[in-house]
Amino acid sequence: MIVSVGMDVVLVERFEAALRRTPLLRDRLFTDAERLTPAGNPRSAESLAARFAAKEAVAKALGAPGHLAWHDCEVVSDVDGRPWLTVAGTVAQTAAELGIVRWHLSLSHDGGIASAMVVAES
């Protein structure tokens, strides 16, 4: 059963400017696995913006509690490149309190906009 849905959009240019202005922001928002492609190369601004949108979408699906840690929600890719979520710590605890046991994720970026939609399922 669907418990909630979250969606977010990010302007890639604005997000990229924030990363340039505040270099440590990349480390604060993303895990090592998120910052790098499976080949070990740095992810593009579009890819990072979509991952940030996913984290925001998860927070919205959880009711936007203020105590969530950025690294407790991780966007990873399977061998085919399909993105999926892993949750731990504050995100996992809040999800468990809401009865959420499964996440569905869709990412997109085009025309300078990155977007993400998550479906939380019990």
The per-residue pLDDT for 62 is: 97
Q: Please give the radius of gyration of the chain, using alpha carbons only, rounded to the nearest integer.
A: 14
Backbone angles phi, psi at 34, to 5 degrees: -80, -35
pLDDT means over runs of 10, the chain (122 residues): 97 97 95 89 95 98 92 90 93 97 96 98 96
Cβ-count burial of 90 within 10 angstroms (0-12 exposed, 13-18 middle, 19+ buried)? middle
- Going from N- to C-terminal start, the domains of the chain cover 2-121
The per-residue pLDDT for 66 is: 84
The per-residue pLDDT for 112 is: 96
- 2-121: which CATH topology? Ribosomal Protein L22; Chain A (3.90.470)
